[in-house]
Amino acid sequence: MSELFKYDDEREAASAARVRALEALLIEKGVLGSDSVDTVLGHFETIAGPFNGARIVARAWVDPAFKQLLIDDTPKAIASMQLPQGMDGAEGEHMAAVANGNGVHNLIICTLCSCYPWPVLGLPPYWYKDPVFRARGVREPRAVLREFGVPVAPETEVKVWDSSAQIRWFVIPERPAGTEDMSEDELAALITPEAMMGVALVPSPLSAASVAA
């Protein structure tokens, strides 16, 4: 990943300090209760987060019929799974999935703001909101992907999908080699939010095994 999109430790620490200060002020002024903060954090730890997206993608990898339904009617496919309530709540309306493979790689951006399917991907990273990322994702997606460590072959078509309040996209990444005997839970553990945004590939466990050896 390029220096432009790497997390900057100082920037992240400063942002965290500002958030804590704002939280303390709101609690002091009676605008926000400490239990409200705990409720929000608990929501994103147990109900809305990338663990949902990982389960959805893993199911699509092992069930071709589900994968097709996920592409054709994403809300219906998600509703058919026993996922936490609230999947269609705030930031989860009108979700749609696109699949990598067959000579296509998909990249998700939001040119106008930072629309993001929180129930399946969790909170958006700071660089996703960056105007530079949003602009370059449209103008030169191959260069952006290369900087994220995703070289795309010249013959592979790159499709850029622009999320909005009307439709929130996520990617079904390609299933890596060496996962044929893995369970759904094991497959879900491989899948990252970045892979479901199209800025990363799901690594093959074979590669990890060779490095360990």
Question: Which is catalytic among the residues 2, 15, 113, 207?
Answer: 113
pLDDT digits (tens, 9 = 90+) for 79-118: 999 776 555 555 556 899 999 999 999 999 998 877 888 8
DSSP structure class, residue 101: B
Question: Higher model confidence: residue 35 or residue 73?
Answer: 73
- Over the stretch 159-172, which tens digit does the pLDDT of each residue have? 999 998 889 999 99
Count helices and strands in the chain by DSSP H and E runs: 11, 4
How many angstroms separate the CA atoms of 59 and 86, rounded?
A: 19
Beta bridge partners of 202: none
Instruction: Check the annotation: does 34 bind a ligand.
Output: no
Residue 8 has pLDDT above 50, yes or no: no
Q: What residue spans define the domains of the chain?
A: 6-46, 50-212
* The architecture CATH gives domain 50-212: Alpha-Beta Complex (3.90)
For the question of residue 110 being annotated catalytic, the response is: yes
The CB-side HSE value for 44 (13 A sphere, CA atoms) comes to 13
Is residue 10 scored above 80 in pLDDT?
no
Residue 113 known to be catalytic: yes
User: Among 22-26, 99-103, 176-180, which is the least confidently predicted range?
Assistant: 22-26
| Predicted local confidence at residue 143, as pLDDT | 96
Active site residue 115: yes
Confirm or deny that 204 is annotated as ligand binding. no
Q: Is 207 a catalytic residue?
A: no
d(CA 119, CA 99): 19
What is the rounded distance in angstroms from the CA atom of residue 70 to the CA atom of residue 77?
Answer: 5
Residue type for position 41: L
Question: Which whole number is the average pLDDT over 34-49?
Answer: 54
183 annotated binding-site participant? no
- Across the chain, mean pLDDT equals 81
Of all residues in the chain, what percent carry a pLDDT higher than 90?
54
- Tokens 């730890």 -> residue: 45
20-24, 52-56, 78-82, 101-105: segment of lowest average pLDDT:
20-24
